[in-house]
Amino acid sequence: MNKEKGFSLVELMVALVIGLLLIAGVIELFVSTRQTYRVQDMKARMQEDGRYAIHHISSLLDRAGYVGCNSIPTGNRGATGRNSGGTGRSLVNNLNTANNYFWDIGGAPVLGHEADNNGGWSPALPAGINQAIAGSDVFTLRTVNNVFIEVSHFDSSLGPSAPVKIPQNNPLDDCDPATEANPGECANIVIASDCNNSVIFQVTNDPSVDGNLQHETGIGTPGNSRVDLGLSGLSQGWLNTITTHTFFIRNGPSNYPSLYQMVLGKNPDVLIEGVEQMQVEYGVDTSNNGSVDQYVKANAVADWEQVISVRISLVMINIDPQQNDNVALGDGTYTLEGNVITPNDGRLRQVFTKTITLRNRIL
């Protein structure tokens, strides 16, 4: 009679141990692969967000300081630097409170505020910039948007309120500040130019109705200080929309430090989450020869008209949708403006730096 044979207890235990070791290896491989994926995914997001933020700011700075033909000096750079406009050229800002921080379109194309170690900024921040994170710089640029419209007709002999005629099918916002519930949200701020004169004003009617741009007083925000544009006419002129952008860091909706953008002094919006810090340096041309003599912080700029380039550094941090930000990668040492910084929170960081020349200040 044959006896049935099976595994002994020792054999079963050995088999179980081998199986557990194999399972442990598979689990370890899975955890390691998952961690690598998380890290690479967060790195990719940081790089994408950092590059987008730098690209967005760069594209605005490329157009900063443009005021039509007044951007091009006529053979003489002027005693005060670039954009003197040369002989016979004028730039008139018809906006109310034209010297207001957020509306001084005809002023210096960039302004900055250097963060100190005590939670303040120098020069001091204007009213309206709230909850900015201490230790991170703030800066504002003034620029034209990527909108160029040919002026069909303007004749001041028809009176000071003569409209500026442009095509009816135009890219201006089709809103009327006189009837908008919130006039501040309907602000077609434009500069009308030819190679002799330029004037900045707010359109006070819906430009999509007939293409006749009105420029009355008492309508819209900031509104116009006077009806008269101060022009004798526009010969082969054109029109651009213009704006100001203020950038600063503050905690976003998800409680991550984020890069905020404020347009024309309106409520700021989140541009990019996961921006821990912004540092800005300004290239100044003190010798008035079109070349940077030195890069300085905002509190060391004596004359903002001498700024011809901007160097921006953004410190990006990782964002994890699972809210587990410590990815256990060590100290994460990085270099910012020549200083080696070693945090101890185990988070990913990457610095994006770019120097942008203000094209309209070196011609």
The pLDDT value given to residue 81: 37
Cα–Cα distance for residue pair 174/176, rounded to 1 Å: 7
Whether 321 has a pLDDT exceeding 60, the answer reads no
DSSP β-ladder status, 197-202 and 90-93:
parallel
Does residue 350 sit in helix, strand or coil? Answer: strand
The pLDDT value given to residue 87: 42
The pLDDT value given to residue 201: 93
Contact present, 333 and 279 (Cβ < 8 Å) = no
The pLDDT value given to residue 247: 97
The pLDDT value given to residue 296: 96
The pLDDT value given to residue 82: 39
Residue in 304, 309, 277 with CA at minimum distance from that of residue 292: 309
Work out the end-to-end distance of the chain between its first and last CA atoms, rounded to an integer number of angstroms.
Answer: 108
Better-scored residue on pLDDT, 86 or 190: 190
The Cβ-side half-sphere exposure at 190, using a 13 Å CA radius, reads 27
Report pLDDT digits (tens) over 164-206.
999 989 999 999 998 887 766 788 999 888 777 788 899 999 9
Cα–Cα distance for residue pair 268/136, rounded to 1 Å: 16
Q: What is the mean pLDDT of the segment spanning 103-126? A: 89
How many C-beta atoms surround the C-beta of residue 137 within 10 A? 22
Cα–Cα distance for residue pair 124/121, rounded to 1 Å: 5
The pLDDT value given to residue 86: 42
In angstroms, the Cα distances linking 194 to 70, 199, 320 are 9, 10, 52
Q: With residue 240 as reference, give the H or E element that holds it.
A: strand 238-251
Residue-level length of the chain: 363
How many C-beta atoms surround the C-beta of residue 167 within 10 A? 12
pLDDT averaged over every residue in the chain: 83
Cα–Cα distance for residue pair 186/336, rounded to 1 Å: 40
Residue with tokens 């602000």: 187
User: Where does the pLDDT of residue 29 fall: very low under 50, low under 70, confident under 90, or very high at 90 and above?
Assistant: confident
User: Where does the pLDDT of residue 128 fall: very low under 50, low under 70, confident under 90, or very high at 90 and above?
Assistant: confident
Better-scored residue on pLDDT, 218 or 34: 218
Whether 66 has a pLDDT exceeding 60, the answer reads yes
The pLDDT value given to residue 35: 67
Report pLDDT digits (tens) over 4-15.
666 677 777 877
Check whether the bond before 123 is cis (ω within 30° of 0).
yes
Percent of the chain residues topping a pLDDT of 90: 37
The pLDDT value given to residue 297: 96
Q: What is the mean pLDDT of the segment spanning 331-359? A: 85
Cα angle 241-283-71, degrees, rounded to a multiple of 5: 35
Whether 216 has a pLDDT exceeding 80, the answer reads yes
Whether 273 has a pLDDT exceeding 60, the answer reads yes
Whether 329 has a pLDDT exceeding 60, the answer reads no
Better-scored residue on pLDDT, 97 or 47: 47
Report pLDDT digits (tens) over 102-114.
878 777 899 999 9
Cβ-count burial 49-72 (b if 16+ within 10 Å, e if not): bbeebbebbeebbebbbbbbbbbb
Residue in 256, 203, 258, 248 with CA at minimum distance from that of residue 113: 248
Does residue 10 sit in helix, strand or coil? Answer: helix
Q: Could you tell me which residues are beta bridge partners of residue 272? A: 259
The pLDDT value given to residue 77: 37
Check whether the bond before 222 is cis (ω within 30° of 0).
yes
Q: Give how far the C-alpha of residue 27 lies from the chain's centroid of Cα atoms, to the nearest Å.
A: 45
